Amino acid sequence: MKNIPYGRHNVTREDLEAVNEALLSDFLTQGPRAEEFEKAFAEYIGVKYAVSVSNGTAALDLCVKALNTAHGDKFITTPITFVASANCVKFNGGEVFFSDIDRQSYLLDLNKLEDLVKKEPPGSYKAVIPVDFAGYPVNLQELKTLADKYRFSIIEDAAHSPGGAFKDSLNNWQNCGNGNFADLAIFSFHPVKHIATGEGGMITTNNKDLYKRILRLRSHGITKDPDYLIENHGGWYYEMLELSGNSRITDFQAALGTSQLKRAGEGLKKRRAIAEKYNQSLKGIKGLTTPIISADVNHAFHLYIVEVAERKKFYDYLKNNGIFAQIHYIPVHLQPYYKQFGWKKGDFPMAEDYYEHGISLPMYPTLSDEEQDYVIEKIIGFF
């Protein structure tokens, strides 16, 4: 059996044709295919506006900028995420706070979050950045209630959850990133994600002003939009209204994104089927915990995470058998960079305890039955 990674992209002949066509066209950097990708993605998610960008990290950075973040502004995120969810605040001079996770869902614990924000007057925190970790959606309706009460914005980090959804209090499904509760959401098209463009990302929102702001933040703070121009000298004319860099995606990456998006629903189905098979095959094993299941959640299964007591031994054993599981994530507050701000072991016991046990098993649409059977057989062998 060849080595089995925890995640893997899938590029088809149709993808290659779409990229080829883009490469031979008049546009290499952002052009009509980027706009096409944005329209198709917005439709898939069910949101008004989408802006494609160079990667998910840039998407987070532009969201933080778009909220007019000033030096010292306070943001809150979860310790169990990729470092980018916190770093976007630091890039912009803000202060990062963390709040502990719920031990079952691994998402921000909203009760603990409220305990934190209510210690300060409303408006003390600029924004909360919840993460739909592993593809399990945050209940943004509940978070929005807190956001209104304590006056903070919401930037949903949906890097793991295109196609995920939660049921709101009226039993309507709310897609991750649909902008009904969060001000802004971001996605990543890194190769292990649901849609892969090499590097790539998307920002979604229902707010027209934020949308227009992000369009110009993506490209040096420059606009040609007559609604925003202070002067207008003619067809060539543009104005730089604020400081920003270049976060554009290329047109051939966007072409790949649109092509991949056509298979996103199919990929999601496959991920859920793989999860179901793991659930059924592993649920009886003493010493192993399978992921939480809820009727109110459509899990996007970017990751399939189990918990085991002897995690390092289990990781090494799988690796020795050609199964390259992964750990998501080392708690961000324990990274050396963040420790310099005073964060330390013991600050977030649930996140730290989860980190001792969680491990992501192979999960990607092209994982074959035979490969998954092999993984399951090896896991059973371990226990």
Ligand X SMILES: Cc1ncc(COP(=O)(O)O)c(C=O)c1O
Q: Which residues bind ligand X (CB under 6 A)?
A: 55-57, 81-82, 84-85, 131, 157, 159-160, 188, 190, 201
Helices (H), ranges, 67-196 = 84-91, 110-117, 140-150
Token pair for 13: 């002949």
**CB of 57 vs ligand X, minimal distance in Å:** 3
**CB of 314 vs ligand X, minimal distance in Å:** 23
Q: Give the integer Cα–Cα distance in Å for 73 and 67.
A: 10
Query: What's the one-letter identity of residue 214?
Result: I
User: Which DSSP letter does residue 52 get?
Assistant: E
SS3 labels along 200-243: CEEEEECCHHHHHHHHHHCECCEECCCCCCCCCCCCCCCEECCC
Q: Give the integer Cα–Cα distance in Å for 381 and 383.
A: 6
Q: Give the integer Cα–Cα distance in Å for 68 and 74.
A: 12
> Which CB sits closer to ligand X, 46 or 198?
198
Please say whether the beta carbons of 124 and 117 come within 8 A: yes
> Which CB sits closer to ligand X, 33 or 160?
160
Q: Which residues of 117-140 are buried (b: 16+ CB within 10 A; e: fewer)?
A: beeeeeeebbbbbbbbbbbbbbbb
Peptide bond between residue 44 and the one before it cis (omega within 30 degrees of 0)? no
Q: Give the integer Cα–Cα distance in Å for 198 and 190.
A: 6
Q: Give the integer Cα–Cα distance in Å for 59 and 193.
A: 15
Burial class for 302, CB neighbours closer than 10 Å (0-12, 13-18, 19+): buried
> Which CB sits closer to ligand X, 162 or 201?
201
> Which CB sits closer to ligand X, 4 or 84?
84
**CB of 71 vs ligand X, minimal distance in Å:** 23
Of the chain, the end-to-end C-alpha distance in Å amounts to 21
Listed residue (113, 107, 139, 109) closest to 125, CA to CA: 113
Strands (E), 224-310: 239-240, 288-289, 297-298, 304-308
**CB of 6 vs ligand X, minimal distance in Å:** 13
- Tell me how many degrees the CA angle 306-309-313 measures, rounded to the nearest 5: 95
Most distant pair of Cα atoms in the chain: their distance: 73
> Which CB sits closer to ligand X, 40 or 58?
58
The alpha carbon torsion through 273, 277, 278, 279 (nearest 10 deg) reads: 100
